Amino acid sequence: MALRGSGSGRGERQSSAPGRTVDHLPPSIMDGMTETPRATMPERVVRADRRASILGAIGQTPLLRIRLFERDAPGVTVFGKAEFLNAGGSVKDRAALRMIEDGEASGALTHDRIILDSTSGNTGIAYALVGAALGYRVRLVMPTNVSDERKTTIAAYGAEIVYSDAQEGSDGAIRVARALYEEAPDTYFMPDQYNNDGNWKAHYDGTGAEIWEQTNGQVTHFVAGLGTSGTFVGVTRRLRDERADVVCVSVQPEDPWHGLEGMKHMPTAIVPGIYDAALADDNLWAPTEASYELAAELAEHEGVMVGHSSGAALWGVREVARRIGHGVVVTVLADGGGRYLSGGLYGRRWQ
């Protein structure tokens, strides 16, 4: 069963495409960077027309019934918000569109500026898609070890990539993006997804409102992984405003050197400014291998192929379901497994 709302809501270093990537940073970060001017810059899509464009396919994702845990917890009903069905393939589409539209509304983003931010991949894809749809240039900083599928997708949308050190993870990408911005602040509009309130507000107004509507207000528990924390913060605040006793549980990787792309181990990471640890009723520490196994099980047994972070969220859901015995648990399936076919999550299952 899938529920869909009816209301409105808002490895190795390698190049993805010639002239659109920067594999290293010279002493002066801007020196030697390649430009990718759009040969035919599309006219700006006015706000009133945006829902008739690809941007209209962002939001209002279905809520899928997940049956993996019915044997262990028969009294618990589990739903997964199918965010991989957004236009750009992940939950990050919502925040990217919101932050860009907020930038336009404030006057901080104009067509003579380049959208710049750090990303582990999904937000970058979302920026690239929205930028292509609205006629903005986009430059993204991401670790070299993000999946090839993410790199290729970003390049396909015409965005430029700056690679940061894989060993420094998302924190290294943050530092490089900040350095680029500080060197040429008049060149860029930097949404700064880790510190932009538009990130969590996209989920307060959209994702959280949809979950409440799609469950007819019956949701008792919400479980979500932490990356920028925007999804967890926004949805939690919305559900709590609807009913104060909804239990909200965050999920983090169990150690700093995890294999869960897009997730943050907050004790050892640069903590996002939008993160509010006090919102969580509990926090669970997901192991990488067990998260991979649950993601694979969901694909094999229910035909829903999801990414690393969704496996971690499902691991958290299983822990919660075993504890509570009865309830309605909702989680977020942040992206699809198609972005991880070249890596360990699914690739090793046929090799």
Rounded to the nearest integer, the mean pLDDT of the chain is 87
What residues have CB less than 8 Å from 104, skipping those under 6 apart?
A: none
Q: What is the pTM of this model?
A: 0.85
Contacts of 47 by beta carbon, 8 Å cutoff, 6+ apart: 101
pLDDT digits (tens, 9 = 90+) for 286-334: 999 999 999 999 999 999 999 999 999 999 999 999 999 999 999 999 9
- Cβ–Cβ < 8 Å for 113, 187: yes
309: annotated active-site residue: yes
Instruction: Tell which wins on pLDDT, 108 or 44.
Output: 108
Q: Which residue has the higher pLDDT, 342 or 43?
A: 342
What is the token pair recorded at 228? 């920028």
**For 2-20, how does the pLDDT look when each residue is reduced to its tens digit (9 = 90+)?**
555 544 343 333 333 333 4
Same fold, 58-90+203-347 and 92-194: yes
Active site residue: 16, 118, 147, 309, which one? 309
Question: How far is residue 265's CA from residue 252's CA, in Å, rounded to a whole number?
Answer: 6
Alpha-carbon gap, residue 286 to 340, rounded angstroms: 19
Tell me: pLDDT of 258 over 60: yes
pLDDT digits (tens, 9 = 90+) for 46-60: 554 777 899 999 999
| Beta-ladder partners of 186 | none
* Catalytic hit among 92, 151, 201, 264: 92
User: Residue 340: its pLDDT value, please?
Assistant: 85
pLDDT of residue 282: 98
Considering only residues 35 and 148, tell me which one the structure prediction assigns the higher pLDDT: 148
> What is the predicted pLDDT for the residue at 18?
32
Asked if residue 198 has pLDDT above 80, the reply is yes
pLDDT number for residue 112: 97
Q: Return the closest-CA partner of residue 316 out of 52, 61, 66.
A: 66
Question: What are the residue ranges spanned by the domains of the chain?
Answer: 58-90+203-347, 92-194
CATH classification (class only), 58-90+203-347: alpha beta
For residue 115, pLDDT beyond 80: yes
pLDDT for 148 equals: 86
Question: Smallest Cα–Cα separation from 22: which of 9, 8, 36?
Answer: 36
What is the pLDDT confidence band of residue 261, given thresholds at 50, 70 and 90? confident
| Cβ–Cβ < 8 Å for 231, 328 | no
CATH T-level fold of 92-194: Rossmann fold (3.40.50)
Collapsing DSSP to helix, strand or coil, 46 comes out as coil
Point out the least confidently predicted range of 84-98, 136-150, 303-317: 136-150
Q: How confident is the model at residue 344 (pLDDT cuts 50, 70, 90)?
A: low
Tell me, rounded to whole angstroms, the distance of Cα 68 from its chain centroid.
Answer: 24
CA–CA separation, 44 and 110 (whole Å): 10
Residue 170 annotated among the catalytic residues of the structure: no
pLDDT bucket at 242, cuts 50 / 70 / 90: very high
Per-residue pLDDT tens for 155-184?
999 999 999 999 898 889 999 999 999 999
